[in-house]
Amino acid sequence: MRKARLIYNPVSGKEIMRNNLADILDAIERAGYEASAFATTPEPDSAKNEATRAAKAGFDLVVAAGGDGTINEVVNGIAGLTDRPKMAIIPAGTTNDYARALKVPRNNVKAAAEVIQKQQTVKMDIGKAADTYFINIAAGGSLTELTYEVPSELKSIFGYLAYLAKGAEMLPRIKPTKMRLVYEGGEYEGNASMFFLGLTNSIGGFETIAPDAKLDDGKFSLIVVKTANLFEIVRLITLVLNGGKHVNDSKVLYIKTSFLDASLLDTDKKMMINLDGEYGGDAPMRFENLHQHIEFYANTDEINDDAILGPDDQKREAGIELVKEYEKIQDEDSEE
């Protein structure tokens, strides 16, 4: 029988995981797995280390249960391995962006576990920044700094509303940063208050920041906010809330790219990089999209057709990969 390891945060969501553990394990076993559980501890990288151990021990499925931080940590535990198990998620945090993108129930942990029984999966793109992996966003610039200033207790109670409140407080302090951003097919050099790379269309509880993002096309949605003016930023936020119309604004650069090299023109300054809501190091930094890197259980019946590649798209992608591989072999032969 296939083996599954549930890695759960016992204190996430007012201990909702601990209180429903038996039902969750039963739901996983009904999907055809022999299930066991591991409760994370306060020690650094607890979930990450257990995910690595489970993958190397031959587990076929790793289930990450908790908030987006727990999911990120489990992904970091398996993304660097050659043989990677499938993943499933059971959201028990506040924002739960990844669950929203995969259409996994966010208010019922048992129903979330039962998604595995549908046997529907998506091979998800994963981001890599230096030696760290991310599943939803990477960002830099003064406009992103509010994520570091929201107290953890406010995040737990108010979710993304806490970010909005802190963002309103911080807006007058936003300053332009002179950036150099090199992406697929071009580059941007100049002032910006933020660059942002998105892997899904759900960011901070909103589904209109990267409105046409696909989960499995090998491309980031790159957004560069080219202004630090308070009134212009407020106007752009209004456009985000009004159906994602910010992507067509002259103060925004919005493109698709498989990589990004981000650096500062002023080397005396510092730009912190945000990876999935947490500090992930400083620029300069390179970001790569790992195409269809981890297979996740998802409720694909409810995912919009525009958010994942269809059969024809997948055939075209396979053809492109074959051409790239052929060209690589030709280059190696010519060098010899």
Q: What are phi and psi of 214, to 5 degrees?
A: -105, 150
- In the chain, beta strands by DSSP E: 2-8, 33-39, 61-66, 86-91, 121-129, 132-134, 137-140, 177-183, 186-192, 194-198, 220-225, 252-257, 259-264, 272-275, 278-282, 285-297
Q: What is the pLDDT of residue 248?
A: 82
Closest C-alpha to 89, from 41, 57, 56, 122: 122
User: Rg of the Cα trace of the chain?
Assistant: 20
Rounded mean pLDDT of 188-198? 93
Better pLDDT: 204 or 4: 4
Q: What is the pLDDT of residue 3?
A: 98
What tokens were used for 53? 């151990």
Per the listing, tokens 């998604």 go with: 115
pLDDT at 179 over 60: yes
Q: What is the pLDDT of residue 257?
A: 97
Q: 289 falls in which pLDDT band (50, 70, 90)? A: very high
**Taking a C-beta distance cutoff of 8 angstroms, is the pair 38, 50 a contact?**
yes
The class of domain 134-289 in CATH terms is mainly beta
Over residues 213-235, the pLDDT tens digits come to 899 999 999 999 998 887 787 78
What tokens were used for 267? 């080397």
CATH code, 2-119: 3.40.50.10330
Over residues 78-91, the pLDDT tens digits come to 999 999 999 999 99
Q: What is the pLDDT of residue 318?
A: 47
Q: Which of 184, 207, 278, 288 is catalytic?
A: 278
**Which residues are paired to 264 by β-bridges?**
179
Specify whether 321 is catalytic.
Answer: no
Q: What is the pLDDT of residue 268?
A: 84
SS3 content of the chain, % helix, strand, coil (to 5): 35, 30, 30
pTM for this entry: 0.85
**Taking a C-beta distance cutoff of 8 angstroms, is the pair 297, 149 a contact?**
no
Better pLDDT: 292 or 278: 292
Out of 116-120, 183-187, 226-230, 262-266, pick the least confident. Answer: 226-230
Out of 22-26, 151-155, 173-177, 212-216, pick the least confident. Answer: 151-155
Over residues 158-176, the pLDDT tens digits come to 454 555 555 566 666 678 8
Task: List the domain boundaries for the chain.
Answer: 2-119, 134-289
- % of the chain exceeding 70 in pLDDT: 81
What kind and span of H or E run contains 320?
helix 311-335
Angle between helix 68-78 and 46-56 (nearest 10): 40
Average pLDDT, the chain: 85
Question: Distance between alpha carbon 219 and the CA centroid of its chain, in Å?
Answer: 12
Q: What is the pLDDT of residue 148?
A: 59
